[in-house]
Amino acid sequence: MRHTALAQTWFLSLRQGRQDPDMIYFDNAATTWPKPPQVIETMVQCMEQGGGNPGRAGHRLALEAGRIVYAARRAVAELVNAPDPMRVVLTANVTEALNLALHGLLRPGDHVITSSMEHNSVMRPLRALEAEGVELTVIACSPDGALDPGEVEAAIRARTAMIVLTHASNVAGTLLPIAEVGQIARRHGVLFLVDAAQTAGACPLDVQSAAIDLLAFTGHKSLYGPMGTGGLVIGPRVNADRLRPLKQGGTGSRSELEHQPAFLPDMCESGTPNVVGLAGLVAGVDWVRRRGVEAIRAHEMALTRRLLDGLAAIRGVRVYGPQNPQQQVAVVSLRIDGMAPDEIGLRLDEEHGILCRVGLHCAPAAHRTMGTFPTGTVRFGLGALNTADEVDASLAAVDCLARKGQ
């Protein structure tokens, strides 16, 4: 009974939070919220009318579940212009996808190049691989997060096996030059892995024109799907025979064998998939495509410009990153003189109803690059469903805090 009461209290608090007209959600860089209604409706319908385990039986519910899984592969492949949906490996999140690419393809003695603006989802696997004999070069970015492609090319060695870059910093919002680096990687015969956690759905992405060999994405951010969804898009230049899966087990295929299947995507997808989440992901990608990635990008750029212009006029506020919507996604990091980031975040929430993220954002390397380590920053992450009125209300709140801090 106690657990039932706790659950009822939790659901009531969620409903009340969603209905709060004064709440402003600026934490979309962590996860987008709210989700489009069709995402929720599709997931509920899947739970009510589905429930089969894909590939584990031949009855109608299992077959329908299999269709949902394939629809998720196809939706992502079409969004990023990947040539083969069957080389879209579905994972629980972008972190798992990045680990699959890094641990699955790199070997002791290999050399890998990355940037100083990476999230720990890249840096921690690379540091672990470095301890096992992989050589690592970290290219220093400028304090606003910008990367010189020439420095990447200059760092390539005979044993360079991979270049891995975030498409956009989750701290400064800075867009890295992936198209230029992709061409560099292609000229030198090096694999190119892109972390698209902040950009898939928010910026136009074309893995073929950008010469991207491996694209890691997540479903719960700018694809407007649920948590627990993501994947790795594997290009044709990647030799699947060299790819080591992170886990082995049931796949629903080649069940007569006690060895892992040797073909994609089954070799990398052991265990029952998150079919309900994937149904929501399909609906989220469909929502993004109907709205238009270019239109979403234009809307978020306009909001970012409005926010940056307003912050620039507030005394005592320091903004980090490019401070140019053309060069960044809708992520803005700031500090207020005389106040710690955690205090700012708490007061924005409690006094003004603004929900944001404070601290190091799981990216200490980026904060060292920006000069904001170890205290971090306050991060506003805007999304497709935010409005100009919300930006204006947030500017008024920051101005209020800045005046009190002087």
Contact residues for 36 (Cβ-Cβ < 8 A; gap 6+): 224, 283, 284, 287
Bridge partner residues of 332 (DSSP)? 380
pLDDT band at 216 (very low <50, low <70, confident <90, very high): very high
The pair of three-digit structure tokens given for residue 364, joined into one six-digit string: 């200490």
362 carries an active-site annotation? yes
Question: For 223-246, how does the pLDDT look when each residue is reduced to its tens digit (9 = 90+)?
Answer: 999 999 999 999 999 999 999 999
The residue from 46, 203, 362, 400 that is catalytic is 362
**Count of Cβ atoms closer than 10 Å to residue 122 Cβ:** 28
Q: What share of the chain is helix, strand, coil (3-state, %, to 5)?
A: 45, 15, 40
pLDDT band at 197 (very low <50, low <70, confident <90, very high): very high
Q: Please check the confidence at residue 115 and state whether its pLDDT lies above 70.
A: yes
Rg (CA), the chain: 22
Report how far Cα 148 is from the mean position of its chain's Cα atoms. 23
> What is the rounded CA–CA span in Å between residue 154 and residue 150?
6
Question: For 258-270, how does the pLDDT look when each residue is reduced to its tens digit (9 = 90+)?
Answer: 999 999 999 999 9
SS3 57: coil
Report the candidate in 67, 84, 86 with the shortest Cα–Cα distance to residue 275: 67
Q: What are phi and psi of 142, to 5 degrees?
A: -75, 165
Q: Please check the confidence at residue 1 and state whether its pLDDT lies above 50.
A: no
pLDDT band at 2 (very low <50, low <70, confident <90, very high): low
Report the candidate in 266, 180, 268, 167 with the shortest Cα–Cα distance to residue 221: 167
Conformational region of residue 228, where left means phi above 0, alpha means psi within -120 to 50, and beta covers everything else: left
Q: Are strands 331-336 and 377-381 parallel, antiparallel or unpaired?
A: antiparallel
For the chain, report the end-to-end CA distance as a whole number of angstroms: 51
Average pLDDT value for residue range 109-132: 98
Q: Which pLDDT score, from 0 to 100, does residue 406 have?
A: 62
Q: Please check the confidence at residue 11 and state whether its pLDDT lies above 70.
A: no
Distances (CA, A) of 205 to 178, 209, 214: 10, 9, 12
Q: Please check the confidence at residue 220 and state whether its pLDDT lies above 50.
A: yes
Average pLDDT value for residue range 97-113: 98
Report how far Cα 386 is from the mean position of its chain's Cα atoms. 18
Q: Which pLDDT score, from 0 to 100, does residue 3 have?
A: 54
Average pLDDT value for residue range 107-126: 98
Question: For 331-378, how does the pLDDT look when each residue is reduced to its tens digit (9 = 90+)?
Answer: 999 999 999 999 999 999 999 999 999 999 999 999 999 999 999 999
> What is the rounded CA–CA span in Å between residue 221 and residue 201?
8
What domains appear along the chain, each with residue ranges and CATH number?
A: 19-36+292-405 (3.90.1150.10), 40-290 (3.40.640.10)
The pair of three-digit structure tokens given for residue 319, joined into one six-digit string: 């903004």
Least confident segment among 14-18, 26-30, 144-148: 14-18
Report the candidate in 182, 216, 222 with the shortest Cα–Cα distance to residue 202: 222
Mean pLDDT of the chain: 94
Q: Please check the confidence at residue 5 and state whether its pLDDT lies above 60.
A: no
Q: Which pLDDT score, from 0 to 100, does residue 51 have?
A: 78
Average pLDDT value for residue range 176-204: 98
Q: Which pLDDT score, from 0 to 100, does residue 118 have?
A: 98
What residue type is assigned to position 80 of the chain? V
